[in-house]
């Protein structure tokens, strides 16, 4: 085993970095990966947005902004925002979901509890729910880490739409093309 002092002197061969690096902007910060030669991708830092166009509508009063799309695992991170009343249609998660409420409150029609500002929510694979924000809530924002696709279902539980990273990225591309940010804008969130 090498001594710690030896490791401190290891030099990274930066000439073997991966050739492709994601686009850089004020919306996503990163440094080149020190182990790019091993296929490591750069980290990703998303500052608080100043451009309203970064929010992508998915249903009336319901928007999200991407934090990252992980193309190795199929997971993604987002901030979900609902203003006034809004409903995210019934869906099922085959993979875990983590949520942290930044602002406001919401509940699932299928559960008894309410997630308030500061709450952390863990949803095991198999969760079926309909996210609802009541009219008396001015604005709700929650960070979600959704570690797989989202299966939208009808009332009987039959899957009617599958939303994976590829579909979600396509959705963002369309929205960003329409609002002038450009369809490539979403690329900076992909790893
Ligand atoms: Fe969900």
Interval 134-186: pLDDT, tens: 999 999 999 999 999 999 999 998 999 999 999 999 999 999 999 999 999 99
Handedness of CA 23, 146, 163, 175 (dihedral sign): negative
Same domain, yes or no, for 97 and 172? yes
Same domain, yes or no, for 59 and 107? yes
89 Cα to the center of ligand 1, angstroms: 9
Same domain, yes or no, for 24 and 107? no
Distance CA 32, CA 162 (A): 34
138 Cα to the center of ligand 1, angstroms: 21
144 Cα to the center of ligand 1, angstroms: 9
Interval 103-143: pLDDT, tens: 999 999 999 999 999 999 999 999 999 999 999 999 999 99
67 Cα to the center of ligand 1, angstroms: 16
Cβ count near 139 (within 10 Å): 13
Same domain, yes or no, for 39 and 57? no
63 Cα to the center of ligand 1, angstroms: 14
115 Cα to the center of ligand 1, angstroms: 13
Handedness of CA 106, 51, 75, 60 (dihedral sign): positive
* Per-residue pLDDT band at 2 (split at 50, 70, 90): low
Same domain, yes or no, for 40 and 61? no
129 Cα to the center of ligand 1, angstroms: 6
User: How many domains are there within the chain?
Assistant: 2
CATH code, 72: 2.60.120.10
Same domain, yes or no, for 132 and 71? yes
Same domain, yes or no, for 2 and 87? no
Same domain, yes or no, for 102 and 18? no
Helix (H) and strand (E) counts in the chain:
2, 12
103 Cα to the center of ligand 1, angstroms: 17
**Range of the structural domain that residue 71 is part of:** 52-189
Same domain, yes or no, for 84 and 154? yes
Same domain, yes or no, for 111 and 164? yes
Same domain, yes or no, for 109 and 171? yes
3 Cα to the center of ligand 1, angstroms: 47
Same domain, yes or no, for 37 and 70? no
């Amino acid at each position: 085993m090498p001594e710690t002092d030896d490791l401190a002197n290891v030099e990274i061969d930066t000439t073997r970095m991966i050739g492709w690096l994601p686009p850089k902007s004020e919306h996503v910060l990163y440094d080149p990966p020190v182990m790019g030669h091993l296929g490591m991708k750069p980290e990703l830092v998303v500052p608080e947005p100043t451009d309203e166009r970064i929010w992508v509508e998915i249903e009336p009063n319901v928007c999200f902004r991407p934090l990252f799309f992980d193309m190795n695992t199929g997971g993604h991170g987002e901030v979900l925002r609902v203003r006034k009343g809004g409903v995210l249609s019934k869906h099922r998660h085959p993979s875990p979901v983590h949520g942290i409420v930044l602002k406001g409150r919401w509940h699932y029609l299928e559960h008894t509890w309410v997630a308030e500002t500061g709450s952390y929510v863990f949803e095991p694979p198999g969760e079926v729910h309909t996210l609802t924000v009541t009219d008396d809530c001015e604005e709700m924002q929650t960070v979600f880490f959704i570690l797989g696709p989202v299966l939208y279902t009808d009332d009987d539980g039959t899957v009617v739409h599958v939303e994976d990273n590829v579909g979600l990225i396509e959705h963002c591309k369309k929205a960003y093309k329409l609002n002038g940010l450009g369809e490539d804008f979403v690329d900076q969130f992909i790893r």
